């Protein structure tokens, strides 16, 4: 197995990406890696480290984090994400991993790999920490605008295969985001999706859940359209940032706060560990015809290592083929 | 001025509601109050406290927090929220305030007071704390499903009048919730709303904002449809709860944590004060033909006092008439 890693994408590229690749390989994991980016920069970052199983593929350009994705891809064919995704298309790699511009990773996957036959629209997973001590998979986090109920049903099926194959969850439950628990609540889309999911035999439908249930981990999968998912996941992230700052500055700032921290540091680490999404934030873009794993722009070496491991598991579990078989199944 | 208070609504009714009413009156505030609920219960709760300017109106029934609102109102005419809202309709009170079942408060307002002529759909405000040290008004928090762009424009106009008249904000800015800042982002609804708001001369349109911007207080008003608003506000609330528990149990639980708290208590109070929404969580239901203020089900006496003060300011500023005049203005 070979995984192409976009070595120029993300806030801490290329250094943390390269370190993540070395970390992954140092654990004796299965896949060989191809780092994609400016060759001289990557060779320098690799230095004299043992790099068995790591090769470099040259790409001269990069899509910036705040750049308009499809315009960038159209105008500049030699970006690291385009080159890395093309390796998968040509069969020279089995998966691509990127911490770069999410829109560009999605656009490259759609343009180069295309959709799985039978899947109408792709979906992006947001993997979230919960107080139930297991991650939840929220989708769609923003790949598709104006989804309909049939798209939502396809998302539920794809996420079910993903949570089974990659996270080892048996019969993962699916909660539909809504404004109340009762089946008669919500928009026309929510009502139609509820009816469709209730009748789907290949999905373990829990029913409606509300915004406050997401971080409680009530279901393994949180289902919503890409607009709601994007707004919600960014809203949660913003709130987490507010509290992170508040704990650091309000509670443990100042002299008394610094004394308090001496006694509280174990507890702070406990809370941080409980809400740490590093090990599972990465997820494949579901519905595209190949494994394309998106991880957080803030990814450090440890998160990159995890992202590569997620790609490895997606390939090993035959995720794309399973989604394709399910999409093609007669109903 | 007289304000009808639903004394049976909310998690801590009637005691905290009655205490909130007494608190409000003890400050020498302008409005007289009518507490609505089981007379003997309220007289007992009032006890021998000085109650000048506080009267009691009897209502034998109450809508439970988890009850289906419109069914309850249809079947049982003598609920405290229905009786309190009817006082406004008959001109015996100028506003109604409730910490009870939000759906029931909305349904009563719509059924009994009706809509302001020219306003097609009502909107519920969620008042949120921000790190910018000023509250932001998020609407619609769930009053209307399947809103269109014209509804959103009406919400923006109503919220502008509300923030001007009740919160004293000059030219309040309106941010449209979207998946990115660029005007070409989002669903069909978001695109249409962006175009409409850009051309509206009576709204200070900031442009698109994202989920993470809400708690940063980038705009005075956060605009979205009722489905997105409800999911987002409950999601934020859920995250705040997760952190509240985490700070209490993970950081300051255990023996070391308790020692830490001795030094950190000032900081914890600082953070709590910064994110305390008590003083402004209450907001009128916008678009109904009368002042109907909704506050949080968790409201204590202090929040009830604030809710009554918000109702007083809404009445004093002529909010309903101003919204009506704007809705009737030729364009």
What is the DSSP track for B107-176? HHIIIII-BPTT--S-B-EEEE--TTSS-EEEE-SSS-SS--HHHHHHHHHHHHHHHHHTT--SS-EEEE
**Reported CATH class of domain A120-278:** alpha beta
Higher confidence at residue A29 or residue A116?
A: A116
Among A141-150, A260-269, A312-321, B154-163, the range scoring the smallest mean pLDDT is: A260-269
How many angstroms away from the CA of B5 is the closest CA of chain A? 26
Average pLDDT over residues A168-196: 95
Q: What is the mean pLDDT of chain A?
A: 92
For the stretch A120-173, pLDDT in tens is 999 999 898 888 888 899 999 999 999 999 999 999 999 999 999 999 999 999
Q: Does A243 touch chain B (CB under 8 A)?
A: yes
Average pLDDT over residues B4-27: 94
Average pLDDT over residues A165-190: 95
State residue B330's pLDDT score.
74
Domain ranges in chain A?
A: 1-117+287-307, 120-278
pLDDT band for position B270 (50/70/90)? confident
pLDDT band for position A329 (50/70/90)? confident
State residue A270's pLDDT score.
82
Asked if residue B138 has pLDDT above 90, the reply is yes
Among A285-289, B294-298, B311-315, the range scoring the smallest mean pLDDT is: B294-298
Distance CA B60, CA B78 (A): 6
Asked if residue B66 has pLDDT above 90, the reply is no
Asked if residue B276 has pLDDT above 80, the reply is no
Higher confidence at residue B329 or residue B299?
A: B299
State residue B258's pLDDT score.
87
Q: Is B145 left (phi over 0), alpha (psi -120 to 50) or beta?
A: beta
Higher confidence at residue B237 or residue A229?
A: A229
Residue of A nearest to B261 (CA): A260
- Are A239 and B234 in contact (CB < 8 Å)? no
State residue B263's pLDDT score.
84
Residues 103..142 of A with a Cβ closer than 8 Å to B: which?
131, 142
- Are B275 and A233 in contact (CB < 8 Å)? no
Asked if residue B147 has pLDDT above 80, the reply is yes
Question: pLDDT > 70: what percent of chain A?
Answer: 98
State residue A244's pLDDT score.
83
Q: Does B181 touch chain A (CB under 8 A)?
A: no
State residue B33's pLDDT score.
97
- Are A256 and B266 in contact (CB < 8 Å)? yes
Q: Does B235 touch chain A (CB under 8 A)?
A: yes
State residue A250's pLDDT score.
83
Q: Within chain A, where are the H helices?
A: 15-26, 39-46, 69-75, 80-89, 102-108, 149-165, 188-198, 226-245, 254-274, 301-316, 319-328
Q: Which residues of A touch B188 (CB under 8 A)?
A: 145-146
How many angstroms away from the CA of B2 is the closest CA of chain A? 34
- Are B215 and A242 in contact (CB < 8 Å)? yes
Asked if residue A258 has pLDDT above 90, the reply is no
Asked if residue B286 has pLDDT above 90, the reply is yes
Higher confidence at residue B113 or residue A254?
A: B113
Asked if residue A274 has pLDDT above 80, the reply is no
Of A51, A10, A14, A65, nearest in space to A36 by CA = A14
Asked if residue B312 has pLDDT above 90, the reply is yes
- Are B260 and A263 in contact (CB < 8 Å)? yes
For the stretch B195-224, pLDDT in tens is 999 999 999 999 999 999 998 999 999 999
The answer to whether the A1-117+287-307 and A120-278 domains have the same CATH topology is yes
How many angstroms away from the CA of B226 is the closest CA of chain A? 9
Q: Does B325 touch chain A (CB under 8 A)?
A: no
Of the partner residues A215, A216, A267, the one whose CB lies closest to the CB of residue B253:
A267
Distance CA A33, CA A27 (A): 13
Asked if residue B29 has pLDDT above 80, the reply is no
Asked if residue B260 has pLDDT above 90, the reply is no
Q: Which residues of A touch B146 (CB under 8 A)?
A: 187-188
Average pLDDT over residues A196-205: 95
Cβ atoms of B82 and B107 within 8 Å: the answer is: no
State residue B131's pLDDT score.
85
C-alpha distances out from residue A90 to A4, A113, A133, A181, Å: 12, 10, 39, 47
The pair of structure tokens assigned to B297 is 């089900």
3-state DSSP call for residue B185? coil
Q: Which helix (H) or strand (E) holds B316?
A: helix B301-316
- Are B187 and A275 in contact (CB < 8 Å)? no
Average pLDDT over residues B307-325: 96
Q: Is B170 left (phi over 0), alpha (psi -120 to 50) or beta?
A: beta
The pair of structure tokens assigned to A210 is 């509300």
Q: Does A253 touch chain B (CB under 8 A)?
A: yes
Question: pLDDT > 90: what percent of chain B?
Answer: 69
- Are A260 and B260 in contact (CB < 8 Å)? yes
The pair of structure tokens assigned to A225 is 């359209």
- Are A250 and B267 in contact (CB < 8 Å)? yes
Asked if residue B69 has pLDDT above 90, the reply is no
Residue B9, φ and ψ in degrees, nearest 5? -95, 140
Q: Does A248 touch chain B (CB under 8 A)?
A: no
Average pLDDT over residues B170-192: 95
Q: Does A77 touch chain B (CB under 8 A)?
A: no
The pair of structure tokens assigned to B157 is 């106009």
Q: What DSSP state is assigned to residue B22?
A: H
Buried b (16+ CB within 10 A) or exposed e, A264-284: beebbebbeeebebbebbbbb
pLDDT band for position A268 (50/70/90)? confident
Distance CA A297, CA A307 (A): 12
Among A10-19, B61-70, B114-123, B147-156, the range scoring the smallest mean pLDDT is: B61-70
State residue A240's pLDDT score.
83
Q: What is the mean pLDDT of chain B?
A: 92
Q: Does B65 touch chain A (CB under 8 A)?
A: no
Asked if residue A64 has pLDDT above 90, the reply is no
Q: Does B191 touch chain A (CB under 8 A)?
A: no
- Are A210 and B234 in contact (CB < 8 Å)? yes
Residue of B nearest to A273 (CA): B250
Q: Which residues of A touch B226 (CB under 8 A)?
A: 179
Residue of B nearest to A256 (CA): B263
Average pLDDT over residues B122-142: 91
Of the partner residues B224, B238, B261, the one whose CB lies closest to the CB of residue A211:
B238
Displacement of CA A39 from its chain's centroid (Å): 26
3-state DSSP call for residue B72? helix
State residue A43's pLDDT score.
92
- Are B238 and A179 in contact (CB < 8 Å)? no
State residue A228's pLDDT score.
97
- Are B260 and A256 in contact (CB < 8 Å)? no
In sequence order, the 6+-apart residues with CB closer than 8 A to the CB of A55 are A32, A33, A34, A35
Find out whether the peptide bond into A14 is cis, omega within 30 degrees of 0. yes
- Counting every residue written for chain B, the total comes to 331
Cβ atoms of A242 and B277 within 8 Å: the answer is: no
Q: Which helix (H) or strand (E) holds B274?
A: helix B254-274
CATH superfamily of B1-119+287-331: Isopropylmalate Dehydrogenase (3.40.718.10)
Cβ atoms of B32 and B61 within 8 Å: the answer is: no
Of the partner residues A177, A216, A251, the one whose CB lies closest to the CB of residue B267:
A251
State residue B329's pLDDT score.
83
State residue A287's pLDDT score.
97
3-state DSSP call for residue A256? helix
Distance CA B31, CA B53 (A): 8
Residue of B nearest to A184 (CA): B68
Question: What is the CATH topology of the domain spanning B122-281?
Answer: Isopropylmalate Dehydrogenase (3.40.718)
Asked if residue B277 has pLDDT above 80, the reply is no
Of the partner residues B212, B246, B254, the one whose CB lies closest to the CB of residue A274:
B246
For the stretch A291-327, pLDDT in tens is 999 998 889 999 999 999 999 999 999 999 999 999 9
CATH superfamily of A1-117+287-307: Isopropylmalate Dehydrogenase (3.40.718.10)
For the stretch B239-254, pLDDT in tens is 888 888 888 888 888 8
- Are B239 and A215 in contact (CB < 8 Å)? yes
Distance CA A277, CA B51 (A): 54
The pair of structure tokens assigned to B160 is 């502008």
State residue B15's pLDDT score.
95
Asked if residue A227 has pLDDT above 90, the reply is yes
- Are A250 and B257 in contact (CB < 8 Å)? no
Distance CA A32, CA A13 (A): 20
pLDDT band for position B124 (50/70/90)? very high
C-alpha distances out from residue B10 to A327, B15, B205, Å: 48, 10, 35
Q: Which helix (H) or strand (E) holds B19?
A: helix B15-26
The pair of structure tokens assigned to A176 is 């539909």
- Enter the ipTM: 0.91
Q: Which residues of B touch A213 (CB under 8 A)?
A: 238
The pair of structure tokens assigned to A111 is 């343009």
State residue B115's pLDDT score.
96
Among A75-79, A94-98, A259-263, the range scoring the smallest mean pLDDT is: A259-263
- Are B263 and A259 in contact (CB < 8 Å)? yes
How many angstroms away from the CA of A24 is the closest CA of chain B? 31
State residue B106's pLDDT score.
93
Residues 207..226 of B with a Cβ closer than 8 Å to A: which?
210-216, 224, 226
Of the partner residues B179, B251, B266, the one whose CB lies closest to the CB of residue A264:
B251
Cβ atoms of B186 and A145 within 8 Å: the answer is: yes
Q: How many CB atoms lie within 10 A of CB A52?
A: 6
């Amino acid at each position: 197995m070979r995984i192409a890693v976009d070595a120029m994408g993300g806030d801490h590229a290329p250094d943390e990406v390269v370190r993540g690749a070395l970390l992954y390989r140092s654990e004796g994991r299965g896949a060989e890696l191809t780092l994609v980016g400016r060759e001289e920069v990557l060779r320098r970052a690799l230095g004299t480290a043992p790099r068995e199983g790591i090769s470099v593929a040259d790409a001269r350009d990069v899509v910036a984090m705040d750049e308009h994705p499809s315009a960038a891809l159209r105008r500049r064919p030699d970006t690291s994400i385009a080159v890395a995704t093309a390796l998968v298309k040509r069969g020279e790699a089995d998966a691509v991993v990127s911490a770069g511009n999410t829109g560009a990773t999605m656009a490259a996957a759609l343009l180069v790999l295309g959709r799985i036959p039978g899947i109408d629209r792709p979906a992006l997973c947001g993997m979230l920490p919960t107080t139930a001590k297991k991650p939840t998979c929220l989708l769609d986090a923003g790949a598709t605008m104006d989804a309909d109920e049939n798209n939502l049903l396809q998302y539920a099926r794809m996420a079910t295969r993903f949570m089974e194959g990659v996270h080892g969850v048996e019969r993962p439950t699916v909660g539909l985001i809504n404004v109340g628990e009762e089946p008669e609540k919500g928009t026309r889309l929510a009502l139609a999706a509820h009816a469709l999911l209730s009748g789907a035999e290949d999905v373990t439908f829990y029913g409606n859940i509300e915004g406050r249930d997401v971080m409680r981990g009530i279901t393994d999968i949180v289902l919503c359209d890409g607009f709601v998912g994007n707004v919600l996941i960014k809203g949660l992230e913003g709130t987490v940032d507010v509290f992170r700052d508040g704990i650091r500055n309000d509670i443990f700032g100042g002299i008394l706060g610094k004394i308090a921290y001496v006694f509280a540091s174990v507890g702070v680490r406990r809370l941080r560990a409980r809400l740490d999404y590093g090990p599972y934030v990465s997820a494949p873009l579901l519905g595209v015809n190949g494994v394309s794993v998106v991880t957080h722009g803030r990814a450090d070496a440890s998160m990159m290592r995890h992202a590569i491991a997620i790609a490895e598991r997606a390939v090993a579990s035959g995720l794309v083929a399973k989604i394709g078989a399910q999409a093609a199944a007669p109903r």
